[in-house]
A and B are shown apart, each in its own frame.
Chain A
Amino acid sequence: MTNDWVDIKNADVILVMGGNPAEAHPCGFKWVIEAKVKKKARLVVVDPRFTRTASVADLYAPIRPGTDIAFLGGVIRFLLAGDKIHLDYVKAYTNAPFLINPSCVFEDGLFTGYDGEKRRYDKSTWIYQTDKDGYARVDPTLSDPNCVFQRMKKHYERYTPEMVERVCGTPKDKFLKVCELVASTGVPHRTMTSLYALGWTQHSVGSQNIRSIAMIQLLLGNMGMSGGGVNALRGHSNIQGLTDLGLLSNSLPGYLTLPNDDDEQLKTYLERRTLKPLRPGQLSYWSNYPKFFVSLMKSWYGAAATKENDFAYSYLPKVDAPYDVLRVVELMSQGKVNGYVCQGFNALASFPDKPKVAAGLARLKYLVVIDPLATETSEFWQNYGEFNDVDPAKIETEVFRLPSSCFAEEDGSLVSSARWLQWHWKAAEPPGEAKGDPEIVGELFSRIRQLYAKDGGAFADPILKLTWSYRITSSPHPEELAREYNGQALADVPDPKQPGAFLARAGEQLATFAVLQADGTTACGCWIFAGCYTPAGNQMARRDNADPSGLGIFPAWSWAWPANRRILYNRASCDPHGTPYDPSRKLIWWNGQKWVGNDVPDFKVDSAPAEGMDPFIMNAEGVARLWAPAMAEGPFPEHYEPFDTPLPKNPFGKALNNPAARVFPGDAKAFGKPDEFPCVATTYRLTEHFHFWTKHARIPAVLQPQAFVELSEGLARKKGLKSGDLVVVKSKRGSLKAKALVTRRLPTLVIEGKEVEVVGLPIHWGFTGQTKKGFLTNTLTPPVGDANIQTPEYKAFLVSVEKA
């Protein structure tokens, strides 16, 4: 979230699209109700189902799964065509005035530079025009045909309300009502917040779904504002934290990245990531990359990371491709992965195309499952009849199941969706012989290290020299680890502004990442977390719920990254002169000497407005990007059909599916066609269950005991089905059985003149736990992910439904 949960109460319009917080985030959703009751805010819900969130909405519009960009592109067109944007904000704080290289064009659904063989773009033409100093050229009048603003206007001309109705199935009048409510916030004193979840991310175009709403929020001037923002409602209690800590195939802590094969030297690795300002006078905060990176290497390798050995740069693995889970499953199925260590992650239930995953796991030599619960993954080799029809005798995988503690049995911190790091305390010992995760990982690593120390082996240096100064070698304590990722000074760090003074003394915990150095005098395991465990102690353990501003900021409750800032980009809540756009919800302001306010300024605090520094300091441009060349499938979001699509062609252009999405050769035939699988399916959660965990807990298992499929009344009539009938749902990947639930919550949509039925599949059942046994829903889902980050397409695919 750019903002936070309580801040939702400050919104005037709340757009829920790509999520269902009333069910999936109920205690956060109460702030939506607060906004409705106290502020007369209007709630708009766009969803394939009439969800519980929709049931309390002021306006609901149906949409076909997988067509969000068509819808949001239509909103962008509405805003631009009707001059309903916050023009001063757009001119000052976005790249709308930036001039694009004229040879980058968009034709027939593709941008310049597409290579169909590799399914990849050569992006060399996707660049700004630059002047003699290397800065981007701009046209402040926004009239140059090659400025981002004009290009965007042209790109979205095709996204008319009629096209939205044809492609999304959203009736035109409902779509226009949504547009009007959204547009009502394009003024300084009104804001809209966007709440979304996996309904937007689990698509082959997921990243561009999010980009689309970011563009809308920028056009309306809602970024950085209290009651505004783009708010990802994360699905699990700490996937925010684990992402912040870089537990992804190509990441390092704090959104640093692993080197690629071509980053042979530290120098080139750093140069490519140390972004120089693209406009005069901009901060471009990633210009500090070397400080963050060197401090990380000092944290991990201590005295073994020296200036002479490039701070142990060669100890880090380099990547030649993204090794995300879809690729790992592909490598497993080719017999190229021998071992899998699954900590608290139910891979068999969570990865797409369960038959492919199961076959891959069966080719492993060893599988190690670390979990508090008996998951399906740990029992993939066991025969559970039709739910998991395998022959254990034929599966040669050695499987270990290691019991771990749960939340109530450990100390530690979780990062909520609002980026709050909240410390929690151990209440009891785990059951039986179960151990905490840090102890299991610590003990395992200590043993591997002992083996390397004794027998040697492949490239042992990074293993032998890893810093490991924990009081109990085999069991690092959470407090020790928290202090380590916060970071400390390894030598006195002099203050460049005050001779004789120091920013930090040797051995001291760091108070902020502003102290970090690139010369090896500071160590920090995760730069964005610096400040969470300072000389004043564990800031994450703070529990003062005072809210002096009344805006729901709670500055002394736990600690938020970065720098305890609660609303990101809050400099953009003020006009270029430093005056808040809306005096009734002031976050920060310029007081004549510096930036001050109710929140921690997201800005260089002593940079006067007259200096012209722009608010989006993480971008080299200084402003936010309406045009974003970093995206795999193009700088502007474009509608592409899901890989399982009911349409023979894309009404917007020649490319049917996302042209840059990766499809493994063996999976090319894994996609369904509408003649065989005529219904559009989507997956989701119920409020009574959490993923595949609560089926192990008695009360939730009683509340929702059995797998079901939601069907429209129209489909039920066509198939002669009634609620309670057992049905078979089939996709190109596999089939499952579940009880039918016939409901008016699912509309029959008309797409390109044809009726299309939407089928709803809750995800919560499996073959272990307290509920009735059920099929894993991912038996049906397709093995393709988003083109940028490979998040699988779980929210839009084709199925058939028949009576069992």
Chain B
Amino acid sequence: MNVTRRGFLKLTASGIGATSVAALGFSHRRALADVRLFKLTQTSETRNTCPYCSVGCGVIVYGLGDRAKNARTNIVHLEGDPDHPVNRGTLCPKGASLLDFVNSPSRLRFPEYRAPGTSEWKRVSWEFAFDRIARLMKEDRDRNFVAKNAKGQTVNRWTSTAFLAASASSNEAGYIFQKVVRALGGVCFDNQARV
């Protein structure tokens, strides 16, 4: 018995459910007609917030994996949090494509270094980067720290190295950066709110 697509639709539309299709004598097709497992069934859900504008939309991040200690979770999907009182599950074109930000080919994966006068990046270790930057900062601070101004007032500031903080980093990242920069005497310091 051949059933065309149109005929199949007619059959089902006339009230014959999917389960009774097998009874019509083409049960070998049943596997193909089976409901595919919902793709998010095996994912773990994590509540997060969209990192773009300031509406603060709730998003749910779907990661493949059960968070076992030695398994690396792979983010496969993001969508609006339907319980969120502001966005109520909706996302804008940017938020709806957050997965492409997480998995962007432009994501940096390891520390890199560009030596003076050269035209290429070199992959370096964190050890090299931290060590070299710490020395450069200390050298500059020790050389240019201003303990007193021309009037002899104690000012304890460091203006020859400047700092910029992100617009989307967390409060916790911002707080520790603020604490560290001021401890160093830094005053050339802004976040994106300035511009």
A352 to chain B: which residues have CB within 8 Å? Answer: 195
B94 at interface (Cβ–Cβ under 8 A)? Answer: yes
B118 to chain A: which residues have CB within 8 Å? Answer: 392
Closest A residue to B55 using CB positions: A28
Contact present for B165 and A344 (CB under 8 Å):
yes
Contact present for B172 and A238 (CB under 8 Å):
no
A407 at interface (Cβ–Cβ under 8 A)? Answer: yes
Contact present for A485 and B175 (CB under 8 Å):
yes
Partner of A345, one of B93, B101, B158, B164: B164
**Interface hub of B104, B154, B158 (most chain A Cβ within 10 A):** B104
Contact present for B156 and A365 (CB under 8 Å):
no
Contact present for B61 and A403 (CB under 8 Å):
no
- Give the number of A-B contacts (CB < 8 Å): 492
Closest B residue to A299 using CB positions: B179
B74 to chain A: which residues have CB within 8 Å? Answer: 428
Partner of A441, one of B117, B141, B171, B176: B176
B34 at interface (Cβ–Cβ under 8 A)? Answer: no
CA distance A345 to B190 in the complex (A): 10
A428 to chain B: which residues have CB within 8 Å? Answer: 61, 63, 72-75
A443 at interface (Cβ–Cβ under 8 A)? Answer: yes
Q: When each residue 393-421 of chain A gets 1 if its CB lies under 8 Å from chain B and 0 otherwise, what string results? A: 11111111111101111111111111011
Q: When each residue 20-48 of chain A gets 1 if its CB lies under 8 Å from chain B and 0 otherwise, what string results? A: 00001111101100000000000000000
CA distance A683 to B143 in the complex (A): 41
B75 to chain A: which residues have CB within 8 Å? Answer: 408, 427-428
B52 at interface (Cβ–Cβ under 8 A)? Answer: yes
Which of A102-110, A627-635, A726-734, A788-796 faces chain B?
A788-796
B130 to chain A: which residues have CB within 8 Å? Answer: 443-444, 447
Interface size on B, residues (CB 8 A): 118
Closest B residue to A458 using CB positions: B145
CA distance A484 to B113 in the complex (A): 34
**Interface hub of B115, B131, B159 (most chain A Cβ within 10 A):** B159
Interface members, chain A 213-264 (any B CB < 8 Å): 233-250, 252-253, 258, 261-262, 264
B113 to chain A: which residues have CB within 8 Å? Answer: 398-401
A527 at interface (Cβ–Cβ under 8 A)? Answer: no
Minimum C-beta distance from B33 to chain A (A): 32
Closest A residue to B108 using CB positions: A403
Interface members, chain B 70-117 (any A CB < 8 Å): 72-75, 78, 80, 83-88, 90-98, 100-102, 104-117
Contact present for A318 and B154 (CB under 8 Å):
yes
Contact present for A5 and B55 (CB under 8 Å):
yes
Contact present for B169 and A344 (CB under 8 Å):
yes
Secondary structure at the B interface, as helix, strand, loop or mixed, is: mixed
Contact present for B97 and A699 (CB under 8 Å):
yes
Interface members, chain B 23-70 (any A CB < 8 Å): 44, 46-58, 61, 63
Contact present for B133 and A368 (CB under 8 Å):
yes
Interface members, chain A 318-340 (any B CB < 8 Å): 318-320, 323-325, 327-328, 331-332, 336-340
Partner of A392, one of B119, B147, B151, B164: B119
Closest B residue to A26 using CB positions: B92
Closest A residue to B177 using CB positions: A441
Partner of A547, one of B55, B85, B140, B165: B85
Q: Contacts A416-B56, A427-B46: A442 and B176 contacting too (C-beta < 8 A)?
A: yes
CA distance A476 to B74 in the complex (A): 25
A437 at interface (Cβ–Cβ under 8 A)? Answer: yes
B182 at interface (Cβ–Cβ under 8 A)? Answer: yes
A383 to chain B: which residues have CB within 8 Å? Answer: 119
Closest B residue to A540 using CB positions: B171
B18 at interface (Cβ–Cβ under 8 A)? Answer: no
Contact present for B108 and A526 (CB under 8 Å):
no
CA distance A482 to B100 in the complex (A): 30
